[in-house]
Amino acid sequence: MPLLAVAALAAMTYAFRIAGPLLRDRVTVPPAAERLFTSAAAVLLVALAATSALTTGHSFAGAARPLGVLVAGVLAARRVPFPVVVVAAAAVTALLRLAGLR
């Protein structure tokens, strides 16, 4: 990922951030549009989470990582604080590997 890509993402991110304060008297976001973007972001996050949990390159990543992520997902659904979720994912995966699972 070259520096140019970082700059592009940074510029787009800042544009999203500054647009509200600059345009606040002139625009409102239709609730339907806001729901669509929220849904799109959630779909993207889940798709990314699923592929990065289950695959490495073009093939299966092994069982330890997806099991760690599964535990993290259950904890997150139960509204466990964020850092605990993150540490649990790493800890479960590490322990499974220690036990010999790939």
Region 22-81 residues binding another protein, contact defined as CB under 8 A: 22-24, 27-29, 31-32, 34-55, 57-59, 64-65, 68-69, 72-73, 76-77, 79, 81
* Residue with token string 């345009």: 23
Q: How far is the CB of 33 from another protein (least distance, A)?
A: 9
- Applying CB under 8 A, does 101 fall inside the site for another protein? no
With CB under 8 A as the contact rule, the residue among 21, 63, 100, 101 that binds another protein is: 21
Query: Can you give 39-89 as a three-state secondary structure string?
Result: HHHHHHHHHHHHHHHHEECCEECCCHHHHHHHHHHHHHHCCCCHHHHHHHH
Q: What is the identity of the amino acid at 91?
A: A
With CB under 8 A as the contact rule, the residue among 97, 99, 100, 101 that binds another protein is: 97
Strand partners, 59: 56
Q: How far is the CB of 72 from another protein (least distance, A)?
A: 4
